[in-house]
Amino acid sequence: MEGLLSMNIVLLDQKTLGDDLNLEILNSFGELSTYATTSHEETEERIKDAEIIITNKVIISKSFMQNAKALKLICIAATGTNNVDLEAAKELGIEVKNVTGYSTSSVVQHTFSMVFYLLEKLEYYNRQVKSRVWSQSGLFTDVSQPFSELAGKKWGIIGLGTIGNEVAKVAETFGVTINYYSTSGKNLINDYHHADLERLMSECDIISIHCPLNDNTENLINQDNLKLLKDGAILLNLGRGGIINEDDLAQALDNQNIYVGLDVIKTEPIEENNPLFSISNYDKLLITPHIAWASIQSRKRLLKGIVENIEHFLERQVEE
C-alpha cells in the first residue's frame, strides 16, 4: 500500500483458507508467492528469501527461521500459535502475529448444528425418507426413534472462554441450565455454576468442549470419565483433537448409549485406521472435517486480521 515498504511475502497453505477467498489484497504489500499446501520437506526452500510468512498449520521451527535470513514477520492465519516456535522467534527478533476472535460466531453456530443433528436423530430420519421406508409405512409421520427437546436439559461446558461463553448465552435462550468446568482452574468467577469434571460428566445431558489442547487437557476425556456419561448424553468436541482419547471413545460408543459430535480429531485429516471408523452404529457419531471455524464470513474476518497485522508491522517499519 502507498507509503509502506514492499515485502517478499510467502503464503504456505492457501488451501486451508479456501479457494473462494479473494487474496488479491495481499499483493499490495509486495511480491506474493502462494502455495496451496506446503510439506515439512518443502518449507525451508520456500521461505528462505521471505520477509513475511503467512501460515495456518505449516510448522515453522527454529532451524527454518535461522535459514530464512530476511524473515521479519510470521503471520499465523489462526488463533492458535503452537505451529511456530515462539521462543526461537523472539530470540531471532522475528515478530509473530496471530488473529483472534474471527471465528467465534461460526464455531457457536456449528456447535448448535451438531447438537440438533444428534438430539433430533436427523441421520436416522433422513435415511428413513430416502430409503423409501416412510413412503411404504402408510403413516403421515414417523416417530420410530424418540427424540427430545433441548429445553430443560443441563448443558456442561468444558472451557468457558470467549466461545464457551457465547455457547452458554445461546443455550440459555433454549431453556437449558449451564454448568462449566475450568481446565485451568482459574476461571471460577462468572455467571455460571462451576463443577468438577466428574460431576459435569455424570450430571449433564449435553457436554461441549471449547478449551485448548495443552498439558492440562490432553486425554482429559478418557475411559475413566466417559463411563460416567448419562444414558443418551451428547458429547461434543469443538476444541482440539487430543482432548478426547479416541480409542476410549470408540469403546464407549459401542458399549454405552451416548451420542458424539466431533469437529476435531487428534490427527488431521483423520487417518483411515482411526478406531472411530470401526464403531458399530454410525448414527451415534457425527464427525465434520474441522470446519466449525470456517464460515465464509469467518474466513473473511481472518483475512482482514492478517492484512491488519501486516499493515501495522509495515507502518512501524516505516516509522523506524
Active site residues: 240, 268, 290
Is 281 in contact with 258 (CB distance < 8 Å)? no
Q: Work out the burial of residue 128: count CB atoms within 10 Å of its CB; fewer than 13 is exposed, 13-18 middle, 19 or more buried.
A: middle
Please give the Cα distance from 93 to 49 (Å, whole number).
16
Is 99 in contact with 302 (CB distance < 8 Å)? yes
- Tell me the β-bridge partners of 54: 11, 75
- Amino acid letter, 37: T
Q: Look at residues 303, 267, 264, 315 and name the one whose alpha carbon lies nearest to residue 159.
A: 264
Please give the Cα distance from 98 to 54 (Å, whole number).
10
**What is the SS3 assignment for 230?**
coil
Q: Look at residues 145, 92, 158, 82 and name the one whose alpha carbon lies nearest to residue 118.
A: 145
Residue carrying C-alpha cell 483433537: 241
Which alpha helices (DSSP H) does the chain contain, by range?
40-47, 62-67, 86-92, 104-119, 122-130, 162-173, 197-203, 223-226, 246-255, 296-319
Is 48 in contact with 68 (CB distance < 8 Å)? yes
Long-range contacts of residues 30-35, Cβ cutoff 8 Å, at least 24 apart? 30/5, 30/6, 31/6, 31/7, 33/8, 33/9, 35/10, 35/11
Sheet holding 177-181, edge to edge: 193-194, 177-181, 154-158, 206-209, 234-237, 259-262, 285-287
